Amino acid sequence: MTARRARLVRAGTHGPGPVVCWMRREHRAQDNWTLLRGQELALTAKRPLVTVWCLARDYPDAGLRQFGFLLRGLEDTARELAALRIPFVLLEGDPGVEIARFARNAHSLVTDFDPLRPKRQWLAEAAAGLACPVEEVDGRNVCPAWLVSDKREYMARTIRPKIHRLLPEFLAPFPRLRPHPHAWERHTAVPDFAAALSRLSVDRAAPEVVWAAPGPAGGRARLDDFLHSRLPRYMQRNDPNAGAVSLLSPWLHFGMLSAQRAALEVVACDVPREARDAFLEELIVRRELADNFCLHAPDYDQTTCFPDWASRSLDAHRTDPRPHLYAEEDLERARTHDPLWNAAQRQMTETGHMHGWLRMYWAKKILEWTPSPEEALRIGVRLNDRWQLDGRDSNGYAGLAWSMGGVHDRPWGERPIFGTVRFMSLAGAMGKFDVRRFVQNWGETLPEKPRGRRTAVRPT
Ligand SMILES: Cc1cc2nc3c(=O)[nH]c(=O)nc-3n(C[C@H](O)[C@H](O)[C@H](O)COP(=O)(O)OP(=O)(O)OC[C@H]3O[C@@H](n4cnc5c(N)ncnc54)[C@H](O)[C@@H]3O)c2cc1C
């Protein structure tokens, strides 16, 4: 594997034990650069290779919906690894502490790159408690985030050429993870994930979803379905009724499917080039722009991350009258005057997946209907992370900051509350797709004559 996918977090002295792969973002056996790097190190040093995963019981805003999907999927991954003679160890507790304890004799520790704050903190704590070398590998992005850019990029237009320059090197086929020849003397059975799930005391308000089969096999099946039945229609992706989007985000978020695998298969697909390119733009450019944002803006979920032009403009409109103000609970229960917003909220709470175009509309209306941008962002983050199966993701923080604070966007015409941050309206939505059909599907009815102006939008 290309060594440029890995970077040293801290130097150290090799211990007498196995190479330890700490899984914390990429939850799959194959198509996983972190495991491939771990196996490379273990084969060179003639050591066992062990995978470890730590259940952090208090991950912010994660509940039964997310933990259920993750733990059920991990069970498949653990079985696949066991068949390759790579044991999987399940720990519970504070990851920084538990990993440092588990890997104290390790030859080396290899882990997934992740720019989100809780994960950075775990890694810093674990690395501080270890004597062995610690490496991180970017297996989430096709092009490693730290190679793409060493600064926060302004928008898709500025990061796109940097990514495209690296694609010939990094968008390459995966080698297979092989049966590991060096056995670990403490060989363990596949952990009991169902018992771990039942022991968890987490928010159970958001139930598990039935449409998404967890694990790499579920992700693979969804990818096959997308390639054959949806990708040819991907140009209709902004129509929430069209069924043209991939619905891959839950598996991508939990690292049960590699974005690189999806990209390789899309490139090889016999569908119109326009559809392929449009999908690869979302899957690679927009998705990697989101990780660039979280890597370089640790305040990715605070209004302090908004660009100056947007902060100044939102400030100037802070005291504008707000004709509709909703309490957080009314928003959460889809009790607003806007049938499209309520329908989108229901789609999210009931299925764990809101359509991408509606996510923009949904977030912008929260900005319009709450007392301040700070409150709007706080509520948006909480609802998104609590109800979306793919929540707590760089994409979500970037999407919310785009919608409410002009991140990766430019100033638009000035108007109340939004200032120069881009606005979206119900009338604009009606000019794009059959809003009546969508809201009826979610038990809402549309008023006869919605007011407002048409605005064509998409994240830039
Ligand atoms: C307010 C708001 C909140 C969002 N919250 C999340 C979230 O919590 N988790 C999440 O994964 N995405 C989030 N997004 C980004 C995007 O809406 C979803 O990734 C997409 O709708 C997922 O559906 P899909 O897999 O069918 O997408 P497709 O259109 O099929 O796209 C394929 C993949 O490309 C990536 N992608 C698509 N659009 C974007 C984008 N705008 N930015 C970054 N990556 C993108 C995703 O990984 C997606 O799965 C959010 C966007 C907004 C505006």
Q: What are phi and psi of 75, to 5 degrees?
A: -60, -45
Distance of CA 333 to the CA centre of its chain: 24
| CATH number of the domain within which 110 lies | 3.40.50.620
Per-residue pLDDT, 141:
98
My answer on whether 402 and 431 are in the same domain is: yes
Q: Does the residue 210 lie in any domain?
A: no
Q: Does the residue 344 lie in any domain?
A: yes
pLDDT band at residue 201 under the 50/70/90 scheme = confident
Atom in ligand 1 nearest the alpha carbon of residue 458: 41
Ligand 1 binding pocket mutation candidate from 247, 282, 300, 387 (most atoms within 8 A of CB)? 282
What distance in angstroms lies between residue 395's CA and the mean position of ligand 1's atoms?
6
My answer on whether 316 and 251 are in the same domain is: no
My answer on whether 130 and 154 are in the same domain is: no
Cβ–ligand 1 distance for 119 under 6 Å, the answer: no
Cβ–ligand 1 distance for 141 under 6 Å, the answer: no
Per-residue pLDDT, 3:
80
Per-residue pLDDT, 314:
98
What distance in angstroms lies between residue 240's CA and the mean position of ligand 1's atoms?
13
* Secondary structure element (H or E) that encloses residue 21, with its range: strand 19-22
Cβ–ligand 1 distance for 356 under 6 Å, the answer: yes
Of 249, 286, 260, nearest to 393 (Cα)? 249
pLDDT at 123 over 80: yes
Output the CA angle 216-221-223, nearest 5 degrees: 90
Of 65, 74, 350, nearest to 202 (Cα)? 65
For the chain, give the percent of residues with pLDDT over 90: 92
What is each CA distance from 10 to 50, 108, 143, 204, 460, in whole angstroms?
20, 10, 22, 38, 36
Cβ–ligand 1 distance for 276 under 6 Å, the answer: no
Cβ–ligand 1 distance for 408 under 6 Å, the answer: no
Domain end among 296, 329, 344? 296
My answer on whether 272 and 311 are in the same domain is: no
Per-residue pLDDT, 449:
57
Domain end among 296, 329, 354? 296
Q: How far apart are CA 360 and CA 459, in angstroms?
A: 8
Domain range for 378: 303-441
pLDDT band at residue 460 under the 50/70/90 scheme = very low
pLDDT at 457 over 70: no
pLDDT at 455 over 50: no
My answer on whether 347 and 377 are in the same domain is: yes
Q: What are phi and psi of 262, to 5 degrees?
A: -60, -40
Q: What is the pLDDT of the chain when averaged over all its residues?
A: 95
What would the pLDDT profile of 71-98 be if each residue is shown by its tens digit? 999 999 999 999 999 999 999 999 999 9
The residue contributing the CA closest to ligand 1 atom 6 is: 396
pLDDT at 185 over 70: yes
My answer on whether 42 and 114 are in the same domain is: yes
pTM of the model: 0.96
My answer on whether 307 and 288 are in the same domain is: no
My answer on whether 128 and 219 are in the same domain is: no
CB hemisphere CA count around 367 (13 angstroms):
30
The residue contributing the CA closest to ligand 1 atom 29 is: 245
| CATH number of the domain within which 410 lies | 1.10.579.10
Q: Does the residue 184 lie in any domain?
A: no
My answer on whether 117 and 160 are in the same domain is: no
pLDDT band at residue 458 under the 50/70/90 scheme = very low
Q: Does the residue 186 lie in any domain?
A: no
Mean pLDDT (whole number) for 333-361: 97
Q: Does the residue 39 lie in any domain?
A: yes
Atom in ligand 1 nearest the alpha carbon of residue 459: 41
Which residues have CB under 8 Å from 310's CB, separation 6+? 405, 406, 407, 409, 411, 419, 420, 421
pLDDT at 454 over 50: no
Q: Does the residue 457 lie in any domain?
A: no
| CATH number of the domain within which 247 lies | 1.25.40.80
My answer on whether 287 and 312 are in the same domain is: no
Domain total in the chain: 3
Domain end among 262, 296, 330? 296
Q: What are phi and psi of 34, to 5 degrees?
A: -65, -45
Per-residue pLDDT, 188:
79
Q: Does the residue 20 lie in any domain?
A: yes
Cβ–ligand 1 distance for 249 under 6 Å, the answer: yes
What would the pLDDT profile of 239-277 be if each residue is shown by its tens digit? 999 999 999 999 999 999 999 999 999 999 999 999 999
My answer on whether 284 and 145 are in the same domain is: yes
Q: Does the residue 150 lie in any domain?
A: yes
Cβ–ligand 1 distance for 424 under 6 Å, the answer: no
The residue contributing the CA closest to ligand 1 atom 16 is: 356
Cβ–ligand 1 distance for 391 under 6 Å, the answer: yes
3-state helix, strand, coil in the chain (%, to 5): 50, 5, 45
Cβ–ligand 1 distance for 399 under 6 Å, the answer: yes
What would the pLDDT profile of 354-400 be if each residue is shown by its tens digit? 999 999 999 999 999 999 999 999 999 999 999 999 999 999 999 99
My answer on whether 105 and 150 are in the same domain is: no
Per-residue pLDDT, 448:
67
Mean pLDDT (whole number) for 298-325: 98
The residue contributing the CA closest to ligand 1 atom 35 is: 283
- Beta partners for 135? 8, 110
Per-residue pLDDT, 61:
73
